[in-house]
């Protein structure tokens, strides 16, 4: 069985290995010992922080553990409120019109405007599943469990949820969008800029990034072509989020121009369809149920599983197996929050 739980210091080596595997462009996990240790420390602080009444600088980092082998096979994270301590930059893609009635000329052009519009919103991030664990519902489980956690602890998060999607770059880390910026405004390659951002060194962005809107038609054709496009490896993650109700409102990454998608927590499909119920433990009855994503209601001792559970909405009870109850650290009468793996359309 796979469980999802808060990261601990004992998971550090697995996190480092995941950072190496994730590659260039996965900004939230740079290969840097100090930063990765700090991420684990911040996560432990966030999960143990009591009496949280509004989103702040909390950073929640989960791991997926294969309980059969004890191996950590993936990570998933939530930043409660971005841009509070460090500036959070985007480009916003919009249109301007240049028109002359006298000359009967009307031109609409796209522009990219440097902004901090998402300051204070919640970001889902750091989703990575190792090669050996890919398949089945593992990827969806690792992603969607965050919506259940946020729904259960709404006071800790913003109503607006965003996700930055990895933009187009090649195997060597070359980004067509960044190459245009590099030529005109920077003197560093994309992997270097991406790494500096990942370790929190963002001062250079404000110092060197063009301060005025950029006319898209002045960019190279290669750069124009990738604005709002995702890396091939990121396409499944984007499709999953779109299925949950996320959409792009014109915001793109300042380095690779990958899209940022957003949704209101109340409208995210998994969160909206979730139920909170007390449990009854019965192996036979649970086995007759449907597969759900299930979480306990704890923060510090958070656990999640994906397994069969019987749901009786009339009696307001959920029937769980002994194995699942043990994995969730719950007993009969305790509450869980659950959402179906397959929605009824």
Give me the catalytic one of 98, 184, 231, 292. Answer: 231
- Backbone angle region of 76, left / alpha / beta, with phi > 0 → left and psi within -120 to 50 → alpha: beta
Q: What is the pLDDT of residue 245?
A: 96
Helix (H) or strand (E) holding 221: helix 221-226
Domain with 290, as residue range(s), is 274-340
Higher-pLDDT residue of 199, 228: 228
Q: Are residues 199 and 222 in the same domain?
A: yes
Q: What is the pLDDT of residue 71?
A: 94
Residue 316: which CATH number? 2.40.40.20
Is residue 96 assigned to a domain?
no
Is residue 100 assigned to a domain?
no
Residue for token pair 């990895």: 166
* Total structural domains within the chain: 2
Closest C-alpha to 296, from 149, 77, 142, 80? 149
List, for residues 215-268, the tens digit of each pLDDT value: 999 999 999 999 999 988 889 889 999 999 999 999 999 888 999 999 999 999
List, for residues 15-60, the tens digit of each pLDDT value: 999 988 887 656 677 788 888 999 999 999 999 999 999 999 999 9
Between CA 164 and CA 124 the distance in angstroms is: 8
Token duo for residue 70: 């004890």
Is residue 300 assigned to a domain?
yes
Q: What is the pLDDT of residue 345?
A: 57
3-class DSSP assignment, residue 123 = strand
Between CA 189 and CA 317 the distance in angstroms is: 56
Is residue 10 assigned to a domain?
yes
Q: Are residues 215 and 294 in the same domain?
A: no
Q: Are residues 254 and 332 in the same domain?
A: no
Q: Is 292 a known active-site residue?
A: no
List, for residues 140-194, the tens digit of each pLDDT value: 999 999 999 999 999 999 999 999 998 998 877 788 898 888 777 776 776 777 6
Using DSSP bridges, classify how beta strands 71-79 and 122-129 pair: parallel, antiparallel or unpaired. Answer: antiparallel
- Torsion angles phi and psi, residue 91, rounded to 5: -105, 140
Q: Are residues 257 and 295 in the same domain?
A: no
Q: Alpha-carbon torsion 256, 15, 338, 154, what sign?
A: negative
Is residue 107 assigned to a domain?
no
């Amino acid at each position: 069985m796979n469980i999802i739980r808060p990261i601990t210091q004992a998971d550090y080596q697995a996190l480092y290995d995941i950072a190496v595997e994730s590659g260039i462009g996965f900004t939230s996990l740079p290969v840097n010992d100090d930063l990765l240790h700090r991420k684990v420390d911040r996560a432990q602080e966030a999960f143990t922080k009591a009496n949280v009444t509004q989103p702040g600088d909390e950073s929640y980092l989960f791991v997926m553990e294969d309980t059969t082998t004890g191996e950590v096979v993936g990570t998933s994270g939530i930043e409660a409120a971005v841009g509070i301590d460090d500036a959070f930059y985007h480009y916003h893609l919009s249109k301007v019109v240049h028109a002359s009635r006298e000359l009967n000329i009307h031109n609409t052009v796209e522009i990219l405007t440097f902004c901090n519009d998402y300051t204070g919103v919640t970001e889902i991030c750091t989703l990575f599943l190792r090669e050996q664990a890919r398949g089945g519902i593992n990827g969806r489980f690792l992603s969607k469990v965050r919506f259940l956690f946020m729904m259960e602890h709404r006071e800790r998060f913003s109503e607006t949820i965003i996700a930055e999607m990895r933009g187009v770059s090649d195997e060597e880390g070359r980004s067509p969008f960044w190459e245009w910026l590099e030529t005109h405004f920077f003197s560093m390659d994309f992997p270097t800029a991406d790494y500096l951002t990942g370790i929190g060194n963002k001062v250079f962005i404000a110092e060197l990034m063009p301060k005025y809107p950029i006319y898209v038609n002045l960019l190279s054709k290669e750069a124009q072509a990738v604005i709002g496009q995702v890396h091939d490896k990121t396409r499944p993650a984007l499709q999953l989020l779109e299925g949950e109700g996320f959409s792009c409102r014109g915001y793109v990454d300042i380095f690779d121009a990958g899209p940022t998608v957003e949704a209101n927590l109340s409208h995210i499909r998994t969160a909206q369809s979730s139920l909170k119920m007390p449990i009854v433990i019965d192996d036979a009855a649970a086995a007759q149920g449907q597969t759900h994503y299930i979480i306990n209601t704890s923060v510090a001792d958070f656990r999640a599983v994906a397994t069969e559970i019987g749901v009786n909405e009339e009696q307001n009870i959920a029937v769980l197996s002994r194995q699942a109850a043990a994995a969730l650290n719950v007993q009969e009468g305790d509450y869980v929050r659950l959402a179906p793996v397959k929605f009824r359309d």
